[in-house]
Structure 1
Amino acid sequence: MPADGVGAAPSGAAPSPAADQVARLADKYFIKTKETVGRFGDTRVTYAVFMRRPVICTPRLAVGWLEEMARARGVEFDIRLTHPEGAWVGAGEPLMMLSGPLYHLVDLETIYLQKLGPACVAAYNAYQMCVDLPNVDFMAMDARHCAGAEMADMMAYAASVGSAAARRDVGARGFVGNANDATAHHFGRERGMGTMPHALIGYAGSTVRAAEMYHEAFPDEAMTVLVDYFGQEVTDSLAVCRRFPEMAAEGRLAFRLDTHGGRYLEGLDLNSSYAVLDRHAQRSIRGYRTDTELRHLVGTGVSAAAIWHLRERLDEAGFGAARIVASSGFNPGKCKAMAIAEVPVDVIGTGSYLPETWTETYATSDIVSYGGKPSVKVGREFLLRYLDH
């Protein structure tokens, strides 16, 4: 049984892939090893499952699937987590020790590693983002960047684990929801969150008209209005506030900046971006910054200066309670730059906690014991010490 209360997927969820699909999806050498073991006799083995970079332990999907496979095969696997869910795990340090009959474990490796590695790295990234901006609500908007529904479920789960760890460690607000219904349960919700895409603005013909249409369709909801479609982020934000002053005053009106990197937000250029930060966050531009940090601070798109600029203009017009939502490329590095500039952002919508370097997500599983006798390939002897833990 897994340690620390980590269990299978939510009740009612079918294991994916099903037991009868394993032979088709597993690496062929595992299938041939299974056939060989079946011919020459089974033995009990112990695997050490680890990664080559620091991660956040995010094992529930892998563990849940292993438990389903054990039930389907009428055997028992001893799954011992070396760290609880949400804990930091160092490079090369096992996340779990997995014991059972070699015949029933060997062909499962391909799939449980797929369910483990990417989730652990995504959780690590989500954790870093939430720690750097502890007073910001995050929204997981990764689904359309995922390679199918299974990956989307894995990434939403990862965001929830990283977020919970940041909440535990620094009191961060973290990820409060996501963009679709299918994975909302990972955030304690029944439904996804979101209001309008660019398509609705284009359909309506103006930002104000899109807001009116949305409000008529969903009169009881707070409203987040996307304001970059026409390149008039400030003008359109103020126009919507004037159209819905009560909602603005009640803090039920927000503006989402999603300006692409090919231009500056309305009213800004490089010099004025520096001036904005000089007024509000001098420390962010007075020290040495890398080119990437400078792009996040004073460059095109949704920069720190852009967020500060919109906040200035809303406040000057008397709409201090209107909120700001930022999206567009908010990965750990960009969030760190935003923290340096102390940006007045209320919500960040991001799918960029998804691993950027996919090779970092590769989990590895090595057998370290055959029939109770320690044995591992040369160079991995360091794993043997975990047999006694």
Structure 2
Amino acid sequence: MDQSTARSVLKESMLAKIVELSVAAGGLAHQTDKYFSHSRRIAEVHGDKQVTYAIFLRRRIVAAVEPALRLLHWHCPEAEVTRFFAEGEIVPAHKKLMEITGPFSKLSEIETLLLQKIGFPCVCANNAYDMCRALPYAGFLDMHARHATGPEMNLLAAYGASVGSEAARAADPQVKGFIGSSQDLTAPLYGAQFGSGTMPHALIGYSGGDVLEALKLFAEVNADTRVVTALVDYQGREVDDSVRCARWFYDEAKLDTHGRSFNVRLDTHGGRFAQGLDYEQSVETVGQWLGVEGEYNIVEKVLGVRAFQLDTANILVDQVRRILFGKGVSVASIIHVRRALDKAGYKQAGIVASSGFDTQKCLVMGGARAPVNVVGTGSFLPERLQETYATADIIAYDGEKRVKVGREYLLD
């Protein structure tokens, strides 16, 4: 079995799990909104009708509807689906994603479950698409699990992110996109057999607060892990601990000679600057990196002249300045650690960055060419739950077009 076929098989198994989890929660009448069950009983008593539903979202998305379609065909295999956008295609706001035709007595109770499975992965797909396009040279690791509510949400979110990532690669062959997940559960959606990750802060605390001791334990016990990553912000010594851990890995343990590679992960708390930086030093660091002097000139270079000029209230400029020069994992901190590793002779060491890498942060990082190799993020999750609300309206009954006032555009 080639790699592409294996990946398809793994993805199929993930889609089957989503249906399995939904079915395990109980029958349709148990899960749907009660008014749909009332409607189903009326249709059964007074005569069924063939109806056509139109489904759309009120915001731009990337189509990621296979989980919903699998559930639809589980409960109503005779339903006919007309798709207007392929999986992974950008869908403008209010545009019909699809039409579904079938018996009202069956589709009525399915509506709630379908909408649950449509909006959420489509918004995740859109966010992942934008993030991957913004930072095409970095790989992304799905770390959303701790922000989800359980396996069904994990699978829906990861499915969306995987679709968005693939769409970004299709749009730009330079995009690396999502390369794995922190969970075994969702790793197959990214073509990996198992989850991957670095180490938690808890392990460093367990090791007496010393990241090097934690790294040694990690490398010894997890001998099958090819990529060994040190989380270097625990003691606030990002530069010193990055170099110290790299020295042990390459010069003392020589783990690179055993086919293993080394990264440092930056996860600096948003309340402080990385070791060796303050605001002024951060501005200087990014300015040198980009060959531009002055913080506002740097922001203009990253944003572009038009965006900079349109932001007359400096709202966007201030947000961008925080990402470039501020506390936490900034562009400046990544450059700062990269330079320290290079100066110490460890140019082969990679940098993993995490902490708030949403679309905006990825756009700024990409605009500044921040030297990050991998981004660990769960920030493709929708910022607001309202973003995920899909809507379904019946637009035809037994072939006769009919829809509520205000939704006539769905008849087209």
* TM-score under structure 1 length normalisation: 0.93
Give the partner amino acid of 1:361.
Answer: T
Hey, what's the Cα distance between the residues in 1 that align with 2:171 and 2:36?
A: 40
2:340 aligned to 313, 318, 339, which one?
313
Q: Identify the range of structure 1 (194-203 vs 289-298) with the bigger mean alpha-carbon deviation.
A: 289-298
Q: What residue is the counterpart of 1:263 in the other structure?
A: 272
Hey, what's the Cα distance between the residues in 1 that align with 2:115 and 2:299?
A: 43
Hey, what's the Cα distance between the residues in 2 that align with 1:239 and 1:46?
A: 64
Q: What residue is the counterpart of 1:278 in the other structure?
A: 287
Q: Does 2:195 correspond to 1:181? A: no
Hey, what's the Cα distance between the residues in 1 that align with 2:58 and 2:358?
A: 21
Q: Does 2:149 correspond to 1:147? A: yes
- Alpha-carbon RMSD: 1.8
Hey, what's the Cα distance between the residues in 2 that align with 1:255 and 1:21?
A: 48
Q: What residue is the counterpart of 2:311 in the other structure?
A: none
1:219 deviation in Å?
3.0
Q: Does 2:245 correspond to 1:240? A: yes
Q: Which runs of 5+ in 2 are unaligned?
A: 1-7, 302-307, 309-315
1:23 deviation in Å?
1.1
How do 1:61-72 and structure 2 match up within 5 A? 61-71=67-77
Hey, what's the Cα distance between the residues in 1 that align with 2:216 and 2:234?
A: 16
Q: Does 2:67 correspond to 1:103? A: no
Hey, what's the Cα distance between the residues in 1 that align with 2:138 and 2:392?
A: 37
1:21 deviation in Å?
2.5
SS of residue matched to 1:16: helix
Hey, what's the Cα distance between the residues in 2 that align with 1:55 and 1:248?
A: 42
SS of residue matched to 1:79: strand
Q: What residue is the counterpart of 2:3 in the other structure?
A: none
Hey, what's the Cα distance between the residues in 2 that align with 1:363 and 1:64?
A: 17
Deviations 1:121-156 (A, max 9, x none): 110000000001111100100011012111010001
Q: What residue is the counterpart of 2:232 in the other structure?
A: 227
1:222 deviation in Å?
2.1
Q: What residue is the counterpart of 2:322 in the other structure?
A: 295
Q: Does 2:210 correspond to 1:201? A: no
1:260 deviation in Å?
1.4
8 Å Cα contact 2:299-2:317 kept in structure 1: no
8 Å Cα contact 2:14-2:189 kept in structure 1: no
How do 1:112-123 and structure 2 match up within 5 A? 112-123=114-125
8 Å Cα contact 1:86-1:165 kept in structure 2: yes
Q: What residue is the counterpart of 2:84 in the other structure?
A: 82
1:247 deviation in Å?
4.3
User: Structure 1 residues 113 and 160 mapped into 2: Cα distance closer, same or farther (>3 Å)?
Assistant: same
Deviations 1:298-318 (A, max 9, x none): 110000011000001111111
1:218 deviation in Å?
2.3
SS of residue matched to 2:59: coil
1:15 deviation in Å?
2.8
Q: What residue is the counterpart of 1:157 in the other structure?
A: 159
Hey, what's the Cα distance between the residues in 1 that align with 2:360 and 2:15?
A: 36
Q: Does 2:376 correspond to 1:371? A: no
> Percent of aligned positions with the same letter in both sequences?
43
Q: Which runs of 5+ in 1 are unaligned?
A: none
SS of residue matched to 1:83: coil
Hey, what's the Cα distance between the residues in 1 that align with 2:384 and 2:346?
A: 41
Give the partner amino acid of 1:81.
Answer: R
